[in-house]
Structure 1
């Protein structure tokens, strides 16, 4: 398969007068010969085989329709690496938000305006009365 990829890449980089390499053929050759290596790379980063397979599939789906000159193994590896990083970033953000939600549920109720003194509540009422209505007064 590597010979087929190099042959297609050479064909793609030749002079303008020759017919262009179909991008689908080059992409298919890359997929058939390097899919497992790319999945292994994603598994090392993500730690989950199913997610790694999804990342590789998404990368090849995004690469469909690109010019053949851009379809190199290095570019595909970089795309898999970036896709894995995006998944890890989403996981990190999700874990932060779930931790914040758990902390908010663990806090005892009654920490709002009702527990503050009458002076603070009166000051808020004055502040609310002085503010302009939202529909006018520019």
Structure 2
């Protein structure tokens, strides 16, 4: 027996053997040592980690889906931009033609107006 030991070697061996064989005794000792509370907390933490991992996995899947959709929308947007550029070019050409046509119409209108005025002057 050690100098500071309250229990004999045989008593300690008996306690350790009882802890191995008797689960209720083991839990009682663990409870007294607050080990059971620690294990319960660790179990709760483990459950929370598992839940967070599940949520993270769901978010990762959702993010992947959203990334695919963004890529699809980007492709559609590029196609629309190309079409818009084509339409803009088409309209610019038509606008230039319209300006040219307007200039011709104005010129012809002035000449016709001049002729009409000359006819009225001659008729007077």
- Considering Cα pairs closer than 8 Å and 6+ residues apart, tell me whether 1 or 2 has the greater RCO: 1
Classify the TM-score, shorter chain. 0.3 to 0.5
Q: Quick check: which one's helix share is greater?
A: 2
Q: TM-score, normalised by structure 1?
A: 0.31
Q: Which has the larger radius of gyration?
A: 2
